[in-house]
Amino acid sequence: MNTTPYALISNRDMRSLLMRYTAAHVTDDLVSAWLDRLAGCTAADVQEAFAGLGPAAARATPSEIADRIEAASDRTAVASPDVVVPLVRRPGAKAGTRRDYYRQAGVRGIRAVYAAMGWEHHPDRELARAVPCPFCKARTWAVCSPLSRNRAGVRELRDRATGMHPSRLDRAKKQLARTSTPRTEQETSR
């Protein structure tokens, strides 16, 4: 295989993949049409997508290949929820959709983690991740940074079991209590 696997796909890579996998008559115009849609993908991503289609690759469209690459990159996000997936691999991703994308990937990641790891995964860790950290300012779903003293001079070490700052877990628990405890009406006050 004469493509460059980890670099962004080049004109030459695109041409040789089209010749290898599709039944199309590969013209310069065809190659640039495909490149327009798949710019930002690596040759390895594109090859994997073609290979995954099997015989259907012969009539594949650029959008079909782009969709497969996107789906594969979502699966990567699920397999390692702590890893931020670089969006360069997502063809056609728009800046405005990134936050939603991360959030959805995070939610899917957590489900997958629970399913795959069951009790081995500390549930408090996932709970804490559902809110931003008030101490180190880690965003929702991001893990806490190793920060142990903030600007205000407050010291806080991450909890060993969860890897999160305890105040973040507190916050998450309070939020959970607020949203999931039915209002108890009402033993006579005072």
Binding residues (CB under 5 A) for Zn ion: these are 133, 135-136, 138, 144, 165
User: Which residues fall within 8 angstroms of residue 61, CB to CB, at 6 or more apart?
Assistant: none
Q: How far is the CB of 134 from Zn ion (least distance, A)?
A: 8
> Cα separations (Å) of 181 from 11, 129, 169, 172, 184?
59, 20, 17, 14, 8
For residue 179, how many other CB atoms are within 10 A of its CB? 7
* Residue among 79 and 157 whose Cβ is closer to Zn ion: 157
* Residue among 77 and 136 whose Cβ is closer to Zn ion: 136
* Residue among 62 and 134 whose Cβ is closer to Zn ion: 134
* Residue among 11 and 148 whose Cβ is closer to Zn ion: 148
Distance, CA of 143 to CA of 133 (rounded, Å): 9
* Residue among 57 and 172 whose Cβ is closer to Zn ion: 172
Distance, CA of 185 to CA of 74 (rounded, Å): 45
Q: Which amino acid belongs to residue 27? A: T
Q: How far is the CB of 138 from Zn ion (least distance, A)?
A: 5
> Cα separations (Å) of 124 from 23, 100, 103, 131, 182?
53, 23, 19, 12, 22
Site of tokens 């995964």:
121
Q: How far is the CB of 133 from Zn ion (least distance, A)?
A: 3
Q: How far is the CB of 162 from Zn ion (least distance, A)?
A: 10
Distance, CA of 117 to CA of 1 (rounded, Å): 38
Do residues 46 and 13 make contact, with C-beta atoms less than 8 angstroms apart? yes
* Residue among 90 and 171 whose Cβ is closer to Zn ion: 171
Q: How far is the CB of 143 from Zn ion (least distance, A)?
A: 8
Q: How far is the CB of 128 from Zn ion (least distance, A)?
A: 8
